[in-house]
Structure 1
Amino acid sequence: MVDTTGSYTVSAWVTLDSLPGNYASAVSQDGRRQASPFYLQYGQGAFAFSTPDGQRARLATTPETGRWYHLAGVRDDATNQIKLYVDGELASTATAGPAYVATGPLAVGRAKYNGENTDFWSGAVDEVRAYDKALTAEEVSALYNGEKR
C-alpha cells in the first residue's frame, strides 16, 4: 500500500489484448472516497497517470496490442505535479489532483469508482512496483532499462 498523501511512484509492465471503450486501469489503489487516489491507465486514446478531479498526465497514442509497455506514474508532493513515463521516457506532466487518502490495497487490473470495481484491464500487467517517493527521471529510466523486455 502506498501513502497517497505524499510523494510516490507506481510502475508496471503492461500489454493490451484490445483497446478499451473508455478507460482501463493497470494499477490503482482503493480509497474511501468515490474515486481512487490514482490510476495508471489507458483510455480515450492515451496512456495516463490520473489523480482525482480529472487531473491527468497523458500521452496520446494508439498502442499496439500484444506489445509490452513500461508505464510509471510519479506524484511529487513538493511541486504538486504528476508525471507519466512511458518506456523510460518522460511523456507528460500535469498539476496533481487532491491527495486522497488510500485506505485499501494496490489493485492490479482494475480501478474502483463509487464503491464498485470498474475499468478492468484487457491484457496483462506484470512487475508492478510502488515506491514511497517521487522517483527521478534517471531512476525511472534505470527501472525501465533494468527490466527491459
Structure 2
Amino acid sequence: MLVRQYSKPLAGVVVATALFAGSSVASAATIAHWEFSEGSGQTAASVGDPGSLYKMTLGASGSTASDPIWTIGRAGAGGALKFVNEKTNSEGDRDFLINHTGVVPTSNVNGLQLTNFTVEAWINLSSLSSGFSNEDPYTIMHLTGKSGATSRTNFALRANGNKLEGFYSDTGGTTRVITHTLADLKADEWMHVAFGRDSTTNQSKLWINGIERVSTETNDPISGLSDLKFAIGADITSSGARRRSFDGLIDDVRISDQLLTTGELLIPEPASLGLLGLSMLMLPRRRK
C-alpha cells in the first residue's frame, strides 16, 4: 500500500514522499501543473507558480486564432480545454497552448528540460488519428529545442490511432518511440495517460488509466537544447512551427522531475480505499 508523507512547507516548497514496505524514501517534485480552472481568458497558469514561470498562452496571439475552447472537464475536476484538429476545424487553424512569450521570458521553459521525468494528462479524444501527416497523429504535449541547427525532442506524448506513444531524441539524435501495447485509447471517454523516464535504471514507462507498460531504453534523452519551445495540444518545432494538433479535451497536465510510480499519478485511488485514499489525493506535493 502506498503511503504519502508530507512535511511542513519551507519557503513555499511542499515535500511529498512515497513509502512502501521495505523500501527507502523517495521524493518527487511537480515542476508544472495546469489544471485549466480559469474558465476564460488567453492564459493558463501552472498551479502554485506565483512567478508565472510556466504560464501558457492560448493560441499564437491575443486574438482567438488557434485558441482551444474553455469547457467543463471530467466530473468533479473543474475546467478543461477543447482542442480541434485542423483537418476538422472550420477555422482551418491549429489549436494549441504555448509557453507564454509576453511578460514571461521563453527561457523559463528551460526548467522543463529533464532526463528523469513523468508527464501526464487526462484526455478525451473526439476522434482517433489516422496515419502520419501534418494533421496526424494527435499531440498531447511536446518539448523541443535545437541541438546545433537541428530540432530535437526532449519529451513528447501523442495519440497515434488507438495507441499511446511517448518519444524523445536520444543523445545521438535518434528518435526513441515507446508504444503502449497493453491497452488501447478510445474516443469519447476520459482516459488518464502518462509517459516517464528514469536515466539511472534506463526504464521508460507508459500508462493508460494506470495500466503500465515498461520498456528498457539504454539511450538517455538529449539535454542542453537551446531555443526551447513547449506546447500542449500540438507538435512544435524549435522555430515555433506547429502541426498535428490534438482533437478532443485535455485536462490536468502535470510534469514531474522523476519517474513516478503508478500510485503517484493523477489517478483516483480505488474505491475500496474509501475516504482515506481520497483525502490523501487532496494533499499537495513538493513544488519547484
Q: Shared topology, TM-score over 0.5? A: yes
Counterparts of residues 1-149 of structure 1 (less than 5 Å):
1=109, 2-21=111-130, 22=132, 23-32=137-146, 33-43=150-160, 45-52=162-169, 53-60=174-181, 63-95=185-217, 96=219, 98-101=221-224, 103-113=227-237, 115=239, 116-140=241-265, 143-145=266-268
Structure 1 residue 7 displacement after superposition: 0.7
Q: Residue by residue, what CA displacement relative to the aligned partner does 1:37-79 show, whole Å, maximum 9, x if unpaired?
A: 1111111541111112332221246532111110111111112
User: Which structure: greater strand fraction?
Assistant: 1
Question: Highest CA radius of gyration, 1 or 2?
Answer: 2
CA distance in 2, matches of 1:29, 1:90: 23
Contact 2:145 2:237 in 1 (8 A): no
Contact 1:31/1:100 (CA < 8 Å) preserved in 2?
Answer: no
Count residues in correspondence.
146
Which residue type is aligned with residue 109 of structure 1?
G
Query: Larger relative contact order (C-alpha < 8 A, sep ≥ 6)?
Result: 1
Q: 1:6 is matched by which residue type in structure 2?
A: T
User: Whole-Å Cα distance in 1 between the matches of residues 236 and 255 of structure 2?
Assistant: 18
Q: Match of 2:153, SS?
A: coil
Query: How high is the sequence identity, in percent, across the aligned residues?
Result: 23
TM normalised by structure 1 equals: 0.81
Find the aligned partners of 2:206 and 2:229 in 1 and give their Cα distance. Answer: 21
* SS of residue matched to 1:144: coil
CA RMSD of aligned residues (A): 2.6
TM-score (structure 2 length as normaliser): 0.45
Give the aligned residue type for 2:261.
T
Pick closer, same or farther for the CA change 1:97–1:77 going to 2, 3 Å: closer
3-state SS in 1 of match to 2:152: coil
2:128–2:161 Cα contact (<8 Å) kept: no
Paired residue type of 1:72 = A
Q: Deviations over 1:68-106 (max 9, x none)?
A: 110111111112232101111213424155324455353
Does 105-114 or 63-72 show the bigger shift? 105-114
Q: In 2, are the aligned partners of 1:49 and 1:73 still within 8 Å (CA)? A: yes
Verify the 8 A CA contact 1:25 1:111 in the aligned structure 2: yes
SS in 2 for 1:98: coil
Structure 2: gaps (5+ residues): 1-108, 270-277, 279-288
Q: Structure 1: how far apart are the matches of 2:202 and 2:120?
A: 19
C-alpha spacing 1:109/1:31, structure 2 compared with 1 (3 Å): same
